[in-house]
Amino acid sequence: MKCYKMLSGMLAAAILLSGCGARGLRSSNAEAINSEVSDVVIEVSENKELGEAHGNKGLGEETAEPVSEYYSFDPHVYSEKLSEIRDEKFWQAFYNMIDAIRAGDDSFECPDEKTYWQVIDPYTLNYLYPVACVNISPYYGDGLFYENGKGYIYYAIPKEVFEKKRLKFEQEINDILHECIRTDYSDFEKCLSLYTYIAENFTYDYEKYETGRIDLDEGSTYSAFSKKCGICGDIASIYAYLLLQCGVDAFTIDSSEDGHSWTYVMIDGKGYHCDPTWALRDEGEALYLWDFMVTSDYRADEGLHPYQIRAFLFYDYDYNYNETDLSADDDKYSELWSYAFDSLDTENNIVYGTDISTGEAIEFHYND
């Protein structure tokens, strides 16, 4: 247990330091709950078997048709792609833990000790339930962390303090979903709507990048979300988490060469690279889509080669390009890469923009 405690500390530090000064890669002229979130607006099957234990998407099971036009906060986010390395046992234990945390409990059902360490490690919490990262850890009070099918939870801050943070975080996610996404949006529309939301509401944290500041009391993703300011790894993780909230498979990846992070998105079984750090810009600058839904070849042209890509999302697994398919070969959205974004018309499936080089007004017509 002492070894894990030390490892937890190192992992937390690694999480808090993750990211890079990616904006330096571009030239300067181109930088451009209700108290418990009780208004559940996505109604899912009542079947509580594994696969429907969470809100927007089940493990291989179809959800019911939505009864409202809005998504609500879902504590049980799910990534089908990550399930290549995390089995159903992991997901069920993770959801048990999240439910226990939200209820203020000190333990949760867990099948074995190995799974316990997997679900409670800071990397997992940082990406799949950011508000609990750093503030939740294994139980050290009397040395008891797991026994007889039960895992124990330690609250690093008073429960009432954590509860306020949790409710505020979940309500803010809920508000973003209501503001940006309707349930009749296609996955592409969800990706673009949240991409523009990041651009309009977040800024790059130059001070954190330059000084290496560590927000020890928050965790990188939650801290950046709260401040609406972060470095590349923070921004990529926030974007991925928001996409998971509305049923789009997404997670953070990075380049092992320079440490720059961005978001890998799966739509209709195809992978795409989205770099929301490049959506950030100063007031008055245009929103360029040059790193939205791009291919691996496009990233390679930018110096971020596919064989350098990895996704270190779990303490015991380096999810890298050589071990799994993190490719992105579909260039159906390539026309957008020369766009400065103006607006999205979801009724007629049109993205309106301005050609970056000519200033000409242009339209991109897409299919759902």
Summarize the confidence of residues 232-256 as an average pLDDT.
94
- Residue 58 has a pLDDT of 40
- The closest alpha carbon to 179, from 198, 202, 163, belongs to 198
List, as own/partner pairs, every contact residues 328-331 make where C-beta atoms lie below 8 angstroms and the sequence separation is at least 24, other chains included: 328/264, 328/270, 328/271, 328/272, 328/273, 328/294, 328/295, 328/296, 328/299, 329/270, 329/271, 329/295, 329/296, 329/297, 330/270, 330/271, 330/272, 330/295, 331/295, 331/298
- The DSSP code sequence of 303-337 is T--GGGEEEEEETTEEEETTTS-------TTGGGG
- Residue 217 has a pLDDT of 58
- Residue 38 has a pLDDT of 39
Q: Which tens digits make up the pLDDT trace of 31-80?
A: 333 444 434 333 333 333 344 444 444 444 455 554 568 999 999 999 99
| Largest distance between two CA atoms of the chain | 67
Which residues are CB-neighbours of 282 under 8 A, at least 6 positions away? 31, 32
Average pLDDT, the chain: 82
Percentage above 70 pLDDT, the chain? 76
- The closest alpha carbon to 279, from 42, 31, 17, belongs to 31
The residue ranking higher by pLDDT, 238 or 83, is 238
Q: Which residues pair with 154 in a beta bridge?
A: 137
Q: Which residues pair with 264 in a beta bridge?
A: 251, 273
Summarize the confidence of residues 342-361 as an average pLDDT.
97
Identify the helix (H) or strand (E) that includes residue 254: strand 249-255
| Integer CA distances (angstroms), 313 to 17, 267, 332, in order | 14, 20, 28
The distance of Cα 195 from the centroid of its chain, to the nearest Å, equals: 12
Neighbours of 207 (CB within 10 A): 11
With bands split at pLDDT 50, 70 and 90, how would you rate the model's confidence at 237? very high
- Residue 317 has a pLDDT of 66
- The closest alpha carbon to 198, from 351, 30, 32, 355, belongs to 32
Query: Helix or strand or coil: residue 345?
Result: strand
- The closest alpha carbon to 173, from 244, 263, 278, belongs to 244
Q: Which tens digits make up the pLDDT trace of 304-336?
A: 887 777 776 776 766 665 567 788 999 999 999
Query: Helix or strand or coil: residue 228?
Result: coil
- The closest alpha carbon to 193, from 105, 332, 315, 71, belongs to 71
* Domain limits, the chain: 2-162, 186-365
Q: Which tens digits make up the pLDDT trace of 283-308?
A: 889 999 999 999 999 999 988 887 77
- Residue 67 has a pLDDT of 54
Question: Of 198-207, 215-224, 256-265, where does mean pLDDT reach its minimum?
Answer: 215-224
- Residue 19 has a pLDDT of 55
Neighbours of 102 (CB within 10 A): 17
Q: Which tens digits make up the pLDDT trace of 126-152?
A: 999 999 998 887 766 566 889 999 999
CA angle 183, 265, 27 (to 5 degrees): 115
Encoding tokens for residue 15?
A: 């999480």
